[in-house]
Amino acid sequence: MFKHILIAHDLSQQADVALRRAAQLAEQHQARLTLLHVAEGQHSSASLKELQQATEQVLGERLSSYSHCPAQVLIRQGKASDVLLQALTEEDYDLLVVGSHHKNKPELFTGTNLERIARHCQVPLLLACGQDSRAYQQAVLAIDSSLCACKALACAYQLLPSTAQLHAVNIFSQPAKQSASKAAAQLEIQQALIGQLVDDECSQLPSDGPSVSHEVVPGTLAGSLDQLIRQRRPQLLALGQHSRSVLVNALLGSLPAHYLRQAPCDVLLVK
């Protein structure tokens, strides 16, 4: 599935964290790796050529210290989010990897560069912020019956090595005013539904993937998921990003936005 990975690199330390993860994934999946650096503002052809040579040298040295994976380096100029989104349309990329560094202050209805990119990105987006760049071994997936959650399950499953564990969790909100027996019965039905959903989705995936477990947790979405993440300490959190109407598409969904702003580990967003 992952044949060509694009990483956005702004020469920051946070971007180096993302570079190490992108290199690890490129080696794991034997994928092509392309590094994109955006020079904001206007540059002459001569200065852009000098910047290209300097950036290729810097990024080449950094990459070679992490990996022997070959990579192409692209230099573009313009607004970072716009340039990156345009670059994604020019090649068949399977994954975009970014670091957690935010240069710009949030703007009304558009947010940071990262949130703008996440809102419009049509390929899986990986926010890499974990210092450990070894292959993922523990991942948590927020699961429900939506198509985007099922796509996130498939994407995370194929991203992980066969030695990893993927734990799918469904946060089940129940009415406060109901009997204990009714609440228990509803929870049992939800557990059966989620179990069948996960089994059905996994049956369509390669058999040599990671082990998959699942559970249903009563509670509120963000609060209960935060607690589970603290307990399990995954290296990766996978989320489906729901399609939104034109009216509300200016805002990123609350759960993805929450974890992009306060990432507890690497975050994978899938539409």
In which element (H, E) is residue 59 found?
A: helix 45-66
Distance, CA of 66 to CA of 21 (rounded, Å): 9
Which domain range does residue 163 map to?
138-270
Q: What is the CATH number of the domain that holds 214?
A: 3.40.50.620
Residue 261 and residue 164 in one domain? yes
Residue 150 and residue 253 in one domain? yes
- Which pLDDT does position 110 carry in this prediction? 43
Phi, psi (deg, nearest 5) at residue 175:
-60, 145
Counting the structural domains of the chain, the total is 2
- Which pLDDT does position 109 carry in this prediction? 37
Residue 142 and residue 42 in one domain? no
Find all residues with CB under 8 Å of 266, minimum gap 6, and list them. 21, 126, 127, 128, 129, 130, 136, 235, 236, 237
Distance, CA of 234 to CA of 238 (rounded, Å): 10
Residue 142 and residue 266 in one domain? yes
Of 101, 127, 153, the one marking the end of a domain is 127
- Residue 132 lies inside a defined structural domain of this protein: no
CB-hemisphere CA count at 13 Å for 77? 10
Residue 163 and residue 255 in one domain? yes
pLDDT digits (tens, 9 = 90+) for 38-55: 887 676 777 777 777 887
Q: Compute the CA torsion angle 154, 130, 210, 3 (nearest 10 deg).
A: 60
Of 67, 98, 127, the one marking the end of a domain is 127
- Please give, one letter per residue, the 3-state secondary structure of 121-183: CCCCEEECCCCCCCCCCEEEEECCCCHHHHHHHHHHHHHCCCCCEEEEEEEECCCCCCCHHHH
pLDDT digits (tens, 9 = 90+) for 221-240: 778 899 999 999 999 999 99
Of 55-59, 116-120, 185-189, which gets the smallest average pLDDT?
A: 55-59
Residue 59 banded pLDDT, cuts 50, 70, 90: confident
Distance, CA of 230 to CA of 237 (rounded, Å): 12
Residue 184 and residue 204 in one domain? yes
- Which pLDDT does position 253 carry in this prediction? 59
In which element (H, E) is residue 54 found?
A: helix 45-66
Residue 13 and residue 114 in one domain? yes
Distance, CA of 191 to CA of 214 (rounded, Å): 9
Residue 209 and residue 258 in one domain? yes
- Residue 250 lies inside a defined structural domain of this protein: yes
- Residue 133 lies inside a defined structural domain of this protein: no
- Which pLDDT does position 66 carry in this prediction? 77
pLDDT digits (tens, 9 = 90+) for 5-33: 999 988 888 889 999 999 999 999 999 99
Of 127, 147, 177, the one marking the end of a domain is 127
Tracing tokens 């990766």 back to the chain, one arrives at: 236
Residue 111, pLDDT above cutoff 80: no
Task: Enter the pTM of the model.
Answer: 0.89
